[in-house]
Chains A and B, each alone.
Chain A
Amino acid sequence: MAGNFFTKESVSRRTLLSATVALATVGTFAFTPRAFAQSAKETLIVGGPRTPESLDQEYPPTEAVHEMRRNVYERLVAFDMKKGDDGVLYEDFSKIVGALAEKYEVGPDSKSITFHIRPGVVSGAGNTLTADDVMWSFERGWALKANFHWYMTQILKIDDFSKAFEKVDDMTVKVSIPKSSPLIAKLWTNSDLGILDAKVMKEKITDDDPWGQRFLATNSASFGPYFVTKYAPGQETVYQANEKYYRGAPRLKRIIFKEIPTAANRVAALQGGAIDVAEYLSPRELSQVEKIPGVSVHKVFGNYIHRVEMQNETKPFNDIRVRQALNYLVPRDAISKAVYFGTARPTKSPISEIYPAFTDEYYQYSLDVDKAKALLAEAGLPEGFETELGYRTGDQLEEEIAVILQTAFAKAGVNVKLSKLPASTLVERYTKGEIPMYFFRDMAIVPDAAYVANLWLNSGSLINYSRFKSDEVDALINSALTGTDETKRVADMKRVQQITMENAPWVFLFNPGYQLATRSNVKGYSWYTPNGNAWFDFYKE
């Protein structure tokens, strides 16, 4: 292959070189870029750290995939949108409205939900939505045993597909679940549960690929505002507007998402006007970008919770007093200024601050070195102890916080060895409980306190990596997962927050928020729980 091209080279080289010199000068002036003057306003160029790893909604959730889903897949129901005081569009978690389903009814005891499909919804490929599309999407999700299956079995406790999912008529689908669930309607707002264009999918099916996984990994087939016209992972993804989208044609007709791995270059490209939007910049970069004329930074305090988790089952962290002591040693003001440049604020609960039932009234951990020393002395460790703190390679932010924590903890004799580890190694070590402390930054996309608490605090949860265990918390979460009395659920979840804050399974750090830097003519910023941008809401002035 290589040899072949070298020979070709020598032939055309001379012609090429002479042509080049002429063109480099002439080309720039004479040949203006093709006429995009009109469509430049309808085209958005986005620079992000990574293109989506797959276009299939059954692919494991990542930040890039979440954003792709938000733009390509459409769900049955959605939260109503309302404008916050800061001018940003947010989801109103108290009001669910129809999306692909025009309306829905929840059955008695919240044990079933009936979706009435909106007539005249058209996919990117031009097909009209019917109950068959919905049923086929359910069948596929169930068979592939990934995301859809996880929500249905873990959250809705469905164990038999044929009993649970029923096509009532061409425009009606009913889902019945064994036990009542407070999430029966809320869950379907999730963009992981998109509806596929079954007509397109069925054309792509082969005997050894009955669910069209190979096709959907690199193509889109849904009823969302955009469809993908070019998927070049590692380089770019191009989204084209679905002109017949049920909420109206998107104002931005083409979204070009460029992968620009180096954050400094996203800044440079935004500054130079080569891109319209720069995603995932560091707080330091945001503070510089804000000062550039022609650039706006949008900031929200979303649902991320950044913390250091401690291995609750092993010494010395099996003692509550030790865990509390570390929480008293964190210089949160200093970190907020030096590392976050004011874009973050302290996390005061295990539940994301924007979710219903959140409370910060049990937060007690101000900076208090004497109290920390006293707690350690009570725990029989007056001289402190040695431990290890793990963070990801390449995570500048965590590295800076780790260094500050190392100094802060040393004031009470706690000597921390910092371990910089590749992400997969770190994950493997904390899954097996082999590292005493590690950074953990996560968010739960379903806005429900019991759902969040169940993931991180239920001792039965596989991702409760800190191995926190409280019988009362377990009981409260389990009852809130099936109870439908909203007042009782809120009271129970407040109690869970109280116990958790007292038990301090984590070193509570920050809500780092979510920020987006754009050119100033890009308007319509909105925020959704998966922290992916919905380009449908955006427009250019």
Chain B
Amino acid sequence: MSVSDSWQRLPRPLRIVMSRLPMVFPQMLGVIFVTFMLVRLLPGDPTLLMLGNMATPESIANLREQLGLNGSLWEQFVHYMGNVMHGDLGVSLFTSNPVAKDLIERAPATLELIFYSMLLTVILAVVLAVIAVVKPGGIVDYFSRIYGLAAGAIPDFWIGLLLIFFLFSLAGIAPAPFGRIDPLLEAPPAITGFYTFDSLLAGDFSALASSFGRLALPVLTLTLVNAGALMQMTKTTFAGIWRSDFIRHQRASGLPERVIIRNALRNSLPPIITLVGFLVGFLLGAAVLVETIFSWGGLGQYAVQSVINSDYPALQGFVLLASAFILIVYLIVDVLYELADPRIRV
């Protein structure tokens, strides 16, 4: 039996993953190299900024040594790569924690935010798009046109600040715009790292209510900004399919509208999946601003701080994790894409 035969016997999703996976490693290596060099190209010396009044030639040399800033750029890079291979991303200058620990602690905060935003974005976008196409000329159709135009033009941080101003400061119906949970409540014991899931698992309903409340504004902000693009795309694709021959045939055959919509949607999936994949990656970037506004304490806020502080290890660690995350999301997109449409070979 030849190799290709046993290869063909493997289940299709596994084959897709296995042929796609080896690509990830050279991609990651390239990302590490480029970010290391780019970060070092930033002007500025963190030691002087940190020492302030206490700078003496001795203390500067001492701190540079601690921060691993001595030696040539190549020596620093080789040293860094060696450490990364062992899972050591260095120690953050401004949190005094190992970067890996910081990232692991913060990742669930950001993922929870992205997860709910994505969920709401997809629901909102697809529902609006389908109704707009199925009932042209209706209120939803008009609304979706205006919203589609506006959504691309409004910056997320501005929407965030407006929501805080109107819903928290004026109306007083939204919870305080900082943190993932009320500071007087204990965070639920970490199982998944998502406060909403963990508090449900722990049966702690006040923590659950509080963490959902805190999620409301940032999720709304991200959804409002991102659902527009997805809705437009879905509308275009879905409208094309809605007018196609096989849908007309189904209708002529007397299938109920509900089934027709489902079939049309199933056929519109590939481009939607692609865009959702891009959006997930994009949300990680959008989270940088939104997290800072809502003091979310996730990866985005961490990235902003590390740039401001010239915190090299933290910044590199963030970029590394972000690129790994995006590569994984694209991998999933590729796999889903092939599954959704068997004709496609990625």
Contact = CB atoms under 8 A, between A and B. Distances in A.
A and B found bound together:
yes
B55 A463 contact: yes
Given A31-B205, A233-B94, A274 B59 contact: no
B184 A31 contact: no
A261 B310 contact: no
A260 B178 contact: yes
A232 B206 contact: no
A6 B112 CA distance: 11
B96 A423 contact: no
Interface stretch (B41-49, B141-149, B257-265): B41-49
B189 to A, nearest CB: 14
Interface stretch (B75-83, B161-169, B247-255, B338-346): B161-169
Interface in B266-302: 292-295, 297, 301-302
B54 interface: yes
A398 to B, nearest CB: 15
Contacts, number: 195
B111 interface: yes
Contacts of B102: 233-234
A16 interface: yes
Contacts of A47: 178
B44 A2 contact: no
Interface residues of B, number: 74
Interface stretch (B26-34, B125-133, B238-246, B324-332): B324-332
A221 B186 CA distance: 24
A371 B237 CA distance: 73
A145 B332 contact: no
Interface stretch (A52-60, A82-90, A311-319, A379-387): A52-60
Interface string B101-113: 0100111000100
Main secondary structure of the interface of B (DSSP, over half): helix
A94 B197 CA distance: 58
Contacts of A50: 305
Given A2-B328, A8-B192, A24 B301 contact: no
A441 B59 CA distance: 22
Interface stretch (A146-154, A169-177, A302-310, A488-496): A146-154
Contacts of A427: 44-45, 48-49
A147 B172 contact: no
Contacts of A234: 95, 102, 106, 297, 301-302, 305
A199 B146 CA distance: 68
A36 to B, nearest CB: 5
Contacts of B185: 33-34
A272 B301 contact: no
Contact of A150 (B56, B206, B329, B332): B56
Contact of B206 (A34, A149, A217, A274): A34
B306 to A, nearest CB: 10
Contact of A60 (B52, B111, B205, B310): B52
Contact of A268 (B45, B52, B92, B169): B169
A31 B42 CA distance: 51
A203 to B, nearest CB: 19
A274 B182 CA distance: 9
Contacts of B106: 234
Interface in A4-40: 5-6, 8-9, 12, 16, 19-20, 23-24, 27-28, 30-34, 36, 40
Contacts of B39: none
Contact of B308 (A24, A28, A423): A423
11 contacts: A5-B192, A31-B205, A40-B184, A45-B184, A60-B51, A146-B54, A150-B56, A234-B102, A262-B292, A274-B178, A428-B45
Given A16-B200, A31-B209, A261-B301, 16 more contacts: A3-B328, A27-B205, A45-B183, A145-B62, A233-B97, A233-B102, A258-B183, A261-B292, A265-B164, A265-B177, A269-B176, A271-B169, A394-B308, A428-B43, A455-B53, A462-B57
User: Top 9 nearest A-B pairs by Cβ distance?
Assistant: A424-B44, A274-B176, A233-B95, A27-B209, A217-B96, A235-B297, A54-B96, A425-B44, A60-B50
Interface of A: 1-3, 5-6, 8-9, 12, 16, 19-20, 23-24, 27-28, 30-34, 36, 40, 43, 45, 47, 50, 53-56, 59-62, 145-147, 149-150, 154, 217-218, 232-236, 256, 258-262, 264-265, 268-269, 271-272, 274-275, 393-394, 422-425, 427-428, 431, 442, 444, 455, 462-463
